[in-house]
A and B are shown apart, each in its own frame.
Chain A
């Protein structure tokens, strides 16, 4: 297979990589760029653990070819905080005990930030519905939904 040159921006950094056509985005993020916050959970798009933001929208990196992100912008969990300043969603997750084993946490947080961008004042049902593709085996979701609600209302008052 011939390698392809791709250029993209990840967490505000321009990167250029040489990838094989069958390289998956999840693997180049984790193994080539050493950003291990995005996780392999199932490989078939059913658990959401590999979620990253592509041009601001959540996508499943286990089902995306690296080649297809040429010219695009990626945000992973590592790119959410601004230096030492945590993103309000990260703070809300910490404050609401929405984190147990933490394996689903990066994908939950990224998906939740996308939700609030699209719908700044979601109802509880709207939050649950949006998050339904991100599975968590530990928390039972309630505290995650609370965290997202808190983050949304925090934005409202700020």
Chain B
């Protein structure tokens, strides 16, 4: 581990978010184009029904521009094109051509001068329905032989694939012979775990604005984590060369994975704009947004075995996921879930089987983890159960078996394998346990009183990106263009998105660190688009810093070479004999002959000279594919307080240890961890999108009145939340950095569940752990012990 002194990395610069505190930051839903029409979308009231005809003549008479199934290109696509085409399932069109497959699916749309007029026209659209089927809500009923098929066939790449029993896709992985492994085990435990659907509740609803250009092209602002993929999809769907499709990079109001894919409203907006030949703005209502995307649920049956001394010998993991009415890439999801499971501990021999099933529900997609928190819940709870069986401390069991430095690791799935080079797991477990007072932990049987406290631990990780030594199923590279301006300031043009975690801030610091130009002279914030940037696959998979800023660093180093070349001309020397440094006193970047700092020239000077002498712009455009996706680790120690009279669970205290290598943005790094804790709290104790099995409607009806997420009151108090970093350095990352985003969420709910067990001696195998479930379980436990007493 190398300790470096940085000029900019690891420091906090305050003014980066000034647009956001003054109301000047523009999001997609804020874009206003003079003359724009406002669009609204007609959505299905039925969960599974044939569309015979869409008649919008009445709406058109009111002056609205309307869109029906016949007005959109009949191109089948998958809105998430992160995987290579051969591994991409396609089942979606801009508007459904044959039938709707979930309540809330878009059927038609219209645009008018005002939103009120558009909505009034929308109500006049008549849909003629054909056959209607009862909704398939439950995973088990959906895969029964006599269940109405949601799809007859879909496409995988260019191949047509028949869909049987609503099974969308499957994935199996085996390492060694688990039968042998279980034979070696002295203790075997097996349980089934269930995690629920949750809604992202990103504050900005999915929106798009599209200008149809005079040359037949389009300019688009939309909620996106990857503008280039939106561009490619729109070009493909609307048959436009990408040189005529420009997608603007624009700040997004939260995402958590819901805009990795192109959102369903984006091509609808584009289609309306092309038809109307006028700009169109489409902002989803919250209720539409709730019917648009949700987190993958997961049912896991997990069986693990270990020797008496705690060393694991085998694991068998069987998962089921119901994915709703569309497949937004469940196949790589199943691969990633295998990876999150396989790379948490050294199972020695393992078997993984994963099946994804279509249902008539909101299509599911990544929510900060892409299956990680779901499978982590199963593994981390079962490890605690095993520890109890073996009479080994849960910390010790984890220390004995975790996948760490030097081990082979395939967090992103079986096709992406690499060796771990930095790991703070041990440090975090040991230090964290001391901070939280783990040794003072008492057994559930020793707890007394109405309010019971419990302490639980869980650990997790996430990959920093999706790269690997060999090309796999996933496209993963970022590009950057960096140029030194005529006054020495720097432009950084990157399609990398910042969804709130400080990715742009990190990028600016990386450039500042390489070029020694002060942070506030590095321009990375808004103003770019697909036209002015090289391809960036997406800001997802916790790749913003490791991959995105890795590419930025690579390009910055190239610009540095050019800069030194120009400087060499001025100094009449060789570039290798020159030093580039940041001068604190001057507050500027300077270059001087090695050993002679007093003979410096400022970079500003050199840039000006280059312009005056017509030498050319110092700039470089390049891309980088990271050949690694090193794990960033997390450990959660959580204290819960269970009110045994009301079942309510509070979280008075938590200690969170994170390992991200070099931390580029300390304040935002902590913010990611704390924010993820609030989302994990919601996932563990509070949130669920429930369905009516009769109508296929959401029980909450799309209203967040009944989709509560944690507020300021539910979090632990400031002094009760300790966040600390391990001391590691990732040699393959920009300045030693890895990611943190999705790691931060992975083990929150697991730690809470383990803490609840420690408090009241009851295991919950299903999330969320609501007061209703707690009271019921406490009552049942009492009845059981009374029976035993009898």
Q: Is the CB of B24 within 8 A of A139?
A: no
One of B242-250, B251-259, B419-427 contacting the partner: B251-259
**Distance (whole angstroms) from the CB of B250 to the closest CB of chain A:** 12
A31-B32, A140-B677, A143-B674 in contact; A94/B18 too (CB < 8 A)?
A: yes
Cβ-closest chain A residue relative to B36: A31
User: From residue 689 to 736 of chain B, which have CB atoms closer than 8 A to chain A?
Assistant: 703-705, 709, 711-713, 715, 717-718, 721
Cβ-closest chain A residue relative to B707: A46
Kindly state the separation between the CA atoms of A127 and B718 in the bound complex, as whole angstroms: 12
Chain A facing B: main interface SS: loop
Against B, the Cβ 8 Å flags (1 = close, 0 = not) of A92-104 are: 0111110111111
Kindly state the separation between the CA atoms of A17 and B202 in the bound complex, as whole angstroms: 33
Q: Is the CB of A100 within 8 A of B671?
A: yes
Does A42 count as interface, using CB distance less than 8 angstroms? yes
Cβ-closest chain B residue relative to A93: B21
By a CB distance below 8 angstroms, the chain B residues around A97 are 12, 667-668, 670-671
Does A43 count as interface, using CB distance less than 8 angstroms? yes
By a CB distance below 8 angstroms, the chain A residues around B718 are 124, 142, 145-146, 149
Does A141 count as interface, using CB distance less than 8 angstroms? yes
User: From residue 27 to 75 of chain A, which have CB atoms closer than 8 A to chain B?
Assistant: 27, 30-31, 34-44, 46-47, 49
A40-B283, A100-B500, A141-B678 in contact; A46/B705 too (CB < 8 A)?
A: yes
Which listed residue (B18, B203, B286) contacts A137, Cβ 8 A?
Answer: B203
By a CB distance below 8 angstroms, the chain A residues around B19 are 102
Cβ-closest chain B residue relative to A42: B286
Q: Is the CB of B715 within 8 A of A78?
A: no
Kindly state the separation between the CA atoms of A100 and B30 in the bound complex, as whole angstroms: 18
A39-B29, A124-B717 in contact; A137/B21 too (CB < 8 A)?
A: no
Does B612 count as interface, using CB distance less than 8 angstroms? no
Against A, the Cβ 8 Å flags (1 = close, 0 = not) of B357-383 are: 000000000000000000000000000
Does A144 count as interface, using CB distance less than 8 angstroms? yes
Does B14 count as interface, using CB distance less than 8 angstroms? yes
By a CB distance below 8 angstroms, the chain A residues around B203 are 39, 41, 47, 49, 101, 103-104, 135-138
Q: Is the CB of B712 within 8 A of A137?
A: no
Against B, the Cβ 8 Å flags (1 = close, 0 = not) of A118-132 are: 000000110111011
**Distance (whole angstroms) from the CB of A8 to the closest CB of chain B:** 18
Q: Is the CB of A77 within 8 A of B23?
A: yes
Q: Is the CB of A95 within 8 A of B20?
A: no
Which listed residue (A44, A78, A102, A146) contacts B17, Cβ 8 A?
Answer: A102
**Distance (whole angstroms) from the CB of A151 to the closest CB of chain B:** 12
Q: Is the CB of A139 within 8 A of B671?
A: yes
Interface size on B, residues (CB 8 A): 60
By a CB distance below 8 angstroms, the chain A residues around B17 are 93-94, 99, 102, 105
By a CB distance below 8 angstroms, the chain A residues around B596 are none
By a CB distance below 8 angstroms, the chain B residues around A34 are 32
Kindly state the separation between the CA atoms of A117 and B222 in the bound complex, as whole angstroms: 38
A99-B17, A105-B21 in contact; A140/B204 too (CB < 8 A)?
A: no
By a CB distance below 8 angstroms, the chain B residues around A124 are 717-718
User: From residue 6 to 42 of chain B, which have CB atoms closer than 8 A to chain A?
Assistant: 12, 14-27, 29-30, 32
Which listed residue (A86, A90, A103) contacts B254, Cβ 8 A?
Answer: A103
Kindly state the separation between the CA atoms of A142 and B26 in the bound complex, as whole angstroms: 25
By a CB distance below 8 angstroms, the chain A residues around B713 are 128-129, 132
Does A81 count as interface, using CB distance less than 8 angstroms? yes
Which listed residue (B32, B286, B500, B721) contacts A138, Cβ 8 A?
Answer: B500
Kindly state the separation between the CA atoms of A22 and B117 in the bound complex, as whole angstroms: 12
By a CB distance below 8 angstroms, the chain B residues around A99 are 17, 20-21
By a CB distance below 8 angstroms, the chain B residues around A140 are 671, 674-679, 715
Q: Is the CB of B251 within 8 A of A81?
A: no
**Distance (whole angstroms) from the CB of B497 to the closest CB of chain A:** 11
A97-B668, A143-B671 in contact; A105/B20 too (CB < 8 A)?
A: yes
By a CB distance below 8 angstroms, the chain B residues around A129 are 712-713
By a CB distance below 8 angstroms, the chain A residues around B14 are 91, 94-95
Cβ-closest chain A residue relative to B201: A137
Most A C-beta atoms less than 10 A away, residue of B202, B675, B679: B675
Which listed residue (B26, B200, B252) contacts A36, Cβ 8 A?
Answer: B26
By a CB distance below 8 angstroms, the chain B residues around A109 are 21
**Distance (whole angstroms) from the CB of B294 to the closest CB of chain A:** 14
Which listed residue (B24, B204, B252, B502) contacts A39, Cβ 8 A?
Answer: B204
**Distance (whole angstroms) from the CB of B255 to the closest CB of chain A:** 8
**Distance (whole angstroms) from the CB of B182 to the closest CB of chain A:** 41
Cβ-closest chain B residue relative to A81: B22
Which listed residue (A36, A80, A96, A135) contacts B30, Cβ 8 A?
Answer: A36
Q: Which 8 pairs from chain A and chain B are nearest by CB? A: A37-B23, A102-B20, A103-B253, A101-B500, A100-B500, A97-B667, A77-B23, A140-B678
10 A-B pairs (CB sep. < 8 Å):
A39-B27, A94-B15, A94-B17, A101-B202, A135-B711, A138-B254, A138-B671, A139-B671, A141-B711, A145-B712
